[in-house]
């Protein structure tokens, strides 16, 4: 059959995120889901069957010169090793965050990616959401003038298991990091200070583990733009993902996406539907667009954005926020 | 590999609707896109390549005992023949509207489907839209009490080519028929009268062809429920698809789905995004759910809804509306 | 004290509407509430005390040359006699609808007003509502292009007493007449046909009295513009007053005014506040602006709009709608 | 005339706020606008004429035993002297903020009010706004569960003259102080720390004067509730007054009040009307309710809320925010 060769992508991880990426790869007109790798063989097989793919081992994938790129959606602890191998074998990388759990490893991975020059996409999914993307492009078109106040709201429907909170390093590294990336991306600036306060309100085990589930983070930008981020691990009304940018010329707001546009009116008022329940639903389009961007950039060549360095920068700011929360001091960022 | 046999579906039509059904079949965990049939071989091939399917002839498909069902998304003129063949070969049918262009053929097809007992889904897509479906289920749960006033709005972004308007029999048969089906489905009643008025406002060729592009249709239901449908073939702000049901206990409204939840505020006020541009985007979920329903019902056995008879009833009412518009009289329906 | 003489206004009727007009007159910088006339002396006195006015007899008011105008907010049955006297004594008239209950009396009043040349305002309050006024002015500025579809919704929170329904001549004469006026005003056209259907759904006494509480009315305009009005005497969620105009260039919508802009989000979704409960709250601004218009026009001289003839035209159309509802036929309007 | 004696209120200040209070007093059924005092005699006269009141001197008012209370809407610099006189003459006080410009004077005024036991209302108007009041009462009814995150937005349409900014002590004392009061009132807690950042973005003269026009303030409450306030002196889209409370059981939001409920849809999307332009329009109802509360409490006896001590506490927090902004440190509050 004539036409361009389709890119061969191997997927690591057959869990929730892996399933989403599998569907997006399989239905992409210029990509092929060449392999699924997961220690959970049963899960991998079910996914392979649905999308007419194959369960393979990591070694097999990395040894296969036909595989163009890997998509990392496996457990966070496996990310550094997979990235190292991909760089060694010259395979492009689409990597779910985090690069690694600790800052030192992240720094060495970023350095390695830069040295290798391998195409690398760090999957900060919100940048690919049509809503956030529209917000950013309108801002760049000057629709709100120069930004002055940025408000970012991310609230999860319910806390993850306490073990997960501990393993992930807590809400600032796991949740706020997305808002930090968004603040950097929307304003085009690097913050020069961060101040964070937090509280544990949802589950006594969170406080007992020395963690919090509710935070407010203030970033100041060199231009004078002020950013306020608020996060909670509990939201009775669904996944809450909003943004607001107030500028010299107006305001841009990103609201929630409701499950349906149905409203019921009665003596209590008018009741709309809930926001989308969680990230799988809310960011379904973002995941599709993210994969499509990766395929396009692979074909076109050139750098990908966000890259590994964006993951590093966001983590550095999240760790400074952690330090602020613990010390009660605003932290200067270099 | 163990597990249930996946259903083999053959798709007729590789155009806009066909492409949508192709993707939904290919990514369905219990269906296989066994064949694509289209006289436009190039279009069929492109689709087959994307979804790893095969271009085949109609004869080949109907002769193949492995094919469980056909999905008809080809030109309207081909529908009667394809349905006849499917009934003859015992293949289940998923059929885009219309069954046929003329009432007599529709009547004989409905009779044939009933005689054959073949599983048959008439794809009135709105019934599968999460919003319309939520509206209907809330209504049935009594969230608005007994319905008293029903308002249905369907407005297309722009008129189709004049030839298409003429071939399809005009706005009442092509567009209003969806609202008529919705009125029947939401109220659970058959109208006992219809009154319609119309005008040609968008393009002089429409009037010249004896057609209209703007209509208001009133249906009265035996319970006293009153239905008002308004349609236009032109909508400057996108595809407008709304419904409102006022009942003894309150009101249910279905609003438009906006392209993004971004709002821009400036000295002119707050400007939201547009509604989805047209049916492909607006009803993407509905098409997925419709296909999923078809697969589930095929597996479970039993009647499908909406069926061929629903297509007939809606067309009869559309034709009575046409008669009303031409005569200026309200038409009694038996 | 220097400056313009303040206009002396005498108020007939100290009930709900009278109280509103009393406050608006008393706080108007160029009007004085010179008298309150009501057979209910106690009510009149209470109102006079609040606004530092005086209870007087009708004769006294009409005999007083200092009284510039009368504001008629008394029972409908008193309107013709009060108008006659005002015309005879050369006093300007601000008259709540209806002019009279029967068409013949309305016709002779309109003729008398024209002969007398007395300034006369028929208080179709919606024309003075900031929302409806903004809708009309934007339409005239071409913001939606030429109107093609007009939808008008008016639903009362609860039916008035059955005696009132009978005395007022029913929903078409009492409620729909406002929408008919709005249709004429918004489109700038006189309808050439009317079709109406109705049902009695809220109270068996309404049906027993030969009346309905739920109607849908279709008007066609000479330009081809189609108008759909829906009314109910019961609305579980408050006073529902909306309008929508679809034109060649877009759509203008007038939504309800909510009691507060508070929304509560929980597992059931997001619940807004109710619309304003009824006309006193919803049209508080309209009543102020209407009185201000009356004062301004009295000072400036010249015709007032809407005038007595607008009341007649709206009643003629309402009566044709009644005839349509009873006969099942669309009625041509001359 | 029988019935309760109406309260005699004397108004100080015939400017913008004075005009509003004048109208509310004059139309209150149990209050009389007994006097208007203003060095601008012409303005005082115009107001007195409209509301049938009298221009009098301060001495005359304080000497008149019939005057029950004074309403202070004059320049801020006059407040301490007027309060002192009212306490000395036993007249109740309705006082626009601030009590005084400097903290020492405010402290001595609060002490004096407490010693005197005079009824005293500090007019933090937002507490009387139907929207904010509904927010607070729903919160108290547990509609959102215990509050965890509170976001308060107040943005003025345009900066006041630079002289006014300097005289008033800047945005934290003049604007943020309302949000600080709201944070205390909504949560029912006293903050234990404050952190503030600011920038001058709208006018170089503001920076030159050592002031800012854009601030973000974080308050932490003893329960762990986190509050974020954002303010700007410029808002291209009108007066922006919003609040959001996220709690264990859901979220309560207070949106802006739009000038009209008209939305215009075209190829650019759906454009709503603007928020109310400024406080006179936005808080018209709040001013009416505030005056009504004052009259009711005067009649009933007992303490008023918010009182002078609330003004003091809010100012102390605003000054701590100022200290935070200047030092870059979070400030502990006792």
CA–CA separation, C145 vs C250, rounded Å? 7
Do the chains contact at B272 and D270, CB–CB below 8 Å?
Answer: yes
ipTM: 0.96
What's residue A2's pLDDT? 41
Could you report the per-residue pLDDT of A106-126, keeping only the tens digit for each? 999 999 999 999 999 999 999
Residues in C closer than 8 angstroms to D254, CB to CB, are 260-262
Shared fold status for A7-118 and A127-283+314-332? no
Closest in B155, B201, B226 to C216, CB measured: B226
- Is D302's pLDDT higher than 90? no
pLDDT of residue C302: 86
Cβ <8 Å between D274 and B258 = no
Q: How confident is chain C (334 residues) per 10-residue block, as mean pLDDT?
A: 75 97 93 97 94 95 98 97 98 97 97 97 98 98 97 98 96 98 98 98 96 98 98 98 98 98 97 96 97 97 96 98 98 94
Of D9, D85, D95, D109, which is closest to residue D53 (Cα–Cα)? D9
CB-based contacts of A66: which residues, under 8 Å, 6+ apart? A8, A34
Residue A78, pLDDT score: 97
Which chain D residues are within 8 Å of C25, Cβ to Cβ? none
Query: C-alpha distances in angstroms, B69 versus B36, B243, D45?
Result: 12, 33, 88
- Residues in chain A with CB shorter than 8 Å from the CB of B50 are 27, 29
> Would you state the pLDDT for residue D4?
62
The order of strands in the sheet holding A7-12 is A31-37, A7-12, A69-72, A92-95, A120-122
- In whole angstroms, what is the distance from residue C171 CA to residue A86 CA? 76
Q: What is the pLDDT of residues A139-159, one digit of tens each?
A: 999 999 999 999 999 999 999
The pLDDT assigned to A239 comes to 98
Q: Which fold has domain A127-283+314-332?
A: Dihydrodipicolinate Reductase; domain 2 (3.30.360)
Q: What is the pLDDT of residues D159-193, one digit of tens each?
A: 999 999 999 999 999 999 999 999 999 999 999 99
Residue of A nearest to C277 (CA): A267
Can you tell me the mean pLDDT for D86-95? 98
CB contact under 8 A, C236 and A273: no
First-last CA distance in chain D: 55
The dotted CATH code for C7-118 is 3.40.50.720
The residue ranges of every structural domain in chain B are 7-118, 127-286+313-332
| pLDDT reported for residue A4 | 62
**A224–D149: do the CB atoms touch at under 8 Å?**
no
- CA-based nearest residue to A274, from A255, A293, A288, A291: A255
How do residues B71-121 score in pLDDT, each as one tens digit?
999 999 999 999 999 999 999 999 999 999 999 999 999 999 999 999 999
Task: Please report the pLDDT score of residue C2 as a whole number.
Answer: 41
CB atoms within 10 A of CB D304: 19
* pLDDT for position A69: 98
Report the chain D residue with the minimal C-alpha distance to residue B258.
D269
Q: Which of A43, A261, A266 to mutate to test the interface with B (most CBs of B within 10 A)?
A: A261
What are the tens digits of pLDDT across the range B46-76? 999 988 899 999 999 999 999 999 999 999 9
Q: Does the pLDDT at position A38 exceed 60? A: yes
Q: Which candidate, C241, C296, C300, C284, places its Cα nearest to that of C24?
A: C284
Which sign, positive or negative, has the C-alpha torsion C109, C114, C116, C121?
positive
Of D236, D258, D268, Cβ closest to residue B271: D268
Which chain B residues have a beta carbon less than 8 Å from that of A244? none
Rounded to 10 degrees, the C-alpha dihedral B159/B161/B163/B167 comes to -50
User: Would you place residue D2 in the very low, low, confident or very high pLDDT band (cuts 50, 70, 90)?
Assistant: very low
- The model's pLDDT over D118-152, given as tens digits with 9 standing for 90+, comes to 999 999 999 999 999 999 999 999 999 999 999 99
Q: Would you call A124 helix, strand, or coil by DSSP?
A: coil
Chain D nearest-CA distance from A213, in A, is 10
Distance (Å) from the alpha carbon of B192 to chain C's nearest alpha carbon: 12
Is D267's CB within 8 Å of B274's CB? yes
Place of tokens 């209950």: C101
Q: What is the pLDDT of residue A1?
A: 37
pLDDT at B39 over 90: yes
Interchain CB distance below 8 Å, A251 and D235: yes
The reported pLDDT for the residue numbered C4 is 62
Chain B nearest CA to D275, separation (Å): 7
Q: Do C251 and D260 touch (CB under 8 A)?
A: no
Which candidate from A258, A267, A271 shows the least CB-CB separation from C268? Answer: A271
pLDDT, average across residues A222-245: 98
Interface test with A, best of C264, C271, C278 (most A CBs within 10 A): C271
Average pLDDT over residues A6-19: 97
pLDDT of A192 higher than 90? yes
pLDDT in tens, D42-83: 999 999 998 889 999 999 999 999 999 999 999 999 999 999
Across the interface, do B251 and C228 touch by the CB < 8 Å criterion? Answer: no
Kindly report the average pLDDT of chain A as a whole number: 96
pLDDT tens by residue, B112-159? 999 999 999 999 999 999 999 999 999 999 999 999 999 999 999 999
Suggest the residue from C269, C272, C277 to mutate for an interface test with chain A (most A CBs closer than 10 A): C269
Q: What is the mean pLDDT of residues A302-308?
A: 95
3-state secondary structure of C34: strand
pLDDT at A212: 98
CB contact under 8 A, D236 and B271: no
Which of C145, C217, C232 has the most B C-beta neighbours within 10 Å, making it the best mutation to test the interface with B? C232
Task: Choose the CATH number for B127-286+313-332 among 3.40.50.2300, 3.40.47.10, 3.30.360.10, 3.40.190.10.
Answer: 3.30.360.10
């Amino acid at each position: 059959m004539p036409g361009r060769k389709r890119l061969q992508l191997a997927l690591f991880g057959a869990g929730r995120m892996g399933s989403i990426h599998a569907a997006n790869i399989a239905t992409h007109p210029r990509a092929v889901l060449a392999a699924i790798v997961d220690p959970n063989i049963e899960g991998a097989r079910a996914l392979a069957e649905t999308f007419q793919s194959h369960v393979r081992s990591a070694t097999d994938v990395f040894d296969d010169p036909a595989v163009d790129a890997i998509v990392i959606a496996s457990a966070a602890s496996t990310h550094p090793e997979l990235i190292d191998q991909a760089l060694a074998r010259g395979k492009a990388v689409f990597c779910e965050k985090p690069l690694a759990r600790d800052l030192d490893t992240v720094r060495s991975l970023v350095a390695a990616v830069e040295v290798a020059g391998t195409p690398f996409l760090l999957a900060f999914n919100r940048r690919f959401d049509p809503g956030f993307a529209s917000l950013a492009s309108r801002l760049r078109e000057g629709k709100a003038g120069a930004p002055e106040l940025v408000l970012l709201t991310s609230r999860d429907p319910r806390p993850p298991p306490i073990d997960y909170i501990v393993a992930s390093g807590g809400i600032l590294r796991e949740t706020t990091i997305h808002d930090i990336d968004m603040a950097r991306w929307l304003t085009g600036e690097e913050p020069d200070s961060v101040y964070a306060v937090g509280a544990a309100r949802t589950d006594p085990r969170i406080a007992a583990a020395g963690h919090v589930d509710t935070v407010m983070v203030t970033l100041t930008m060199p231009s004078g733009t002020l950013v306020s981020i608020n996060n909670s691990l509990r939201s009775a009304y669904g996944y809450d993902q909003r943004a607001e940018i107030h500028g010299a010329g107006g305001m841009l707001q990103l609201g929630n996406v409701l499950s349906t546009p149905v409203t019921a009116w009665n003596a209590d008022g008018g009741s709309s539907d809930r926001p989308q329940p969680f990230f799988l639903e809310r960011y379904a389009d973002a995941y599709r667009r993210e994969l499509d961007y990766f395929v396009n950039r692979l074909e076109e060549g050139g750098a990908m954005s966000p890259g590994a360095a964006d993951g590093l920068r966001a983590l550095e700011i999240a760790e400074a926020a952690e330090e602020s929360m613990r010390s009660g001091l605003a932290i200067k960022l270099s």
